[in-house]
Amino acid sequence: MKSYCISHVKDVDGVGAAALVVAAKGADFLLTDYDSLLSDLKRVPQDVEEFVLCDLGSDDSNRREFIDALSKLASRSRVTYIDHHYIPPSAKRELVRNGINLVHDARECASMLCYETFRDLLPPEAQFVALYGAVTDYQDTSPLAKKLMERADRHFVLAEATMLSHALARMGVEEEFPQKIAKALAEMKTPHEIDSVPELALEQLRVETQISKEVRRRGKKTGRLAYMETSQYSTGNVAKLLIGEFEVPVGVSYKKKQRGWYEVSLRGTSECRTHLGKAAGRIALKLGGSGGGHRRAAGCHIPASSIGPLISELARLV
Residues 43 and 151 in one domain: yes
Report pLDDT for 1.
64
Report pLDDT for 177.
93
pLDDT of residue 172 exceeding 80, the answer is no
Residues 178 and 230 in one domain: no
Let me know if residue 213 belongs to a domain.
Answer: no
pLDDT of residue 173 exceeding 80, the answer is no
Tens digits of residue pLDDT in 214-230 = 999 999 999 999 999 99
Residues 152 and 223 in one domain: no
Distances (CA, A) of 3 to 21, 27, 30, 180: 9, 5, 12, 19
Report pLDDT for 290.
86
Let me know if residue 212 belongs to a domain.
Answer: no
Residues 170 and 239 in one domain: no
**Residue 239 belongs to a domain with what CATH number?**
3.10.310.40
Boundaries of domain holding 240: 219-317
- Amino acid present at 74: A
Residue ranges of the alpha helices (H) in 172-305?
A: 177-186, 197-218, 235-246, 276-286
pLDDT of residue 86 exceeding 90, the answer is no
Let me know if residue 78 belongs to a domain.
Answer: yes
Instruction: Name the domain count of the chain.
Output: 2
pTM for this entry:
0.88
Residues 255 and 187 in one domain: no
Let me know if residue 242 belongs to a domain.
Answer: yes
Q: 127 CB contacts (<8 Å, ≥6 apart)?
A: 115, 148, 152
Tens digits of residue pLDDT in 113-138 = 999 999 999 999 999 999 999 999 98
* Neighbour-count burial for 142-168, b at 16+ CB within 10 Å, e otherwise: bebbeebbeeeeeeebbbbbbbbbbbb
Looking at per-residue pLDDT, the higher value among 156 and 301 belongs to 156
pLDDT of residue 175 exceeding 70, the answer is no
Tens digits of residue pLDDT in 5-56 = 999 998 999 999 999 999 999 999 999 988 899 999 999 999 999 999 999 9
Tens digits of residue pLDDT in 192-205 = 999 999 999 999 99
Whole-angstrom distance, CA of residue 20 vs CA of residue 57: 19
Residues 120 and 73 in one domain: yes
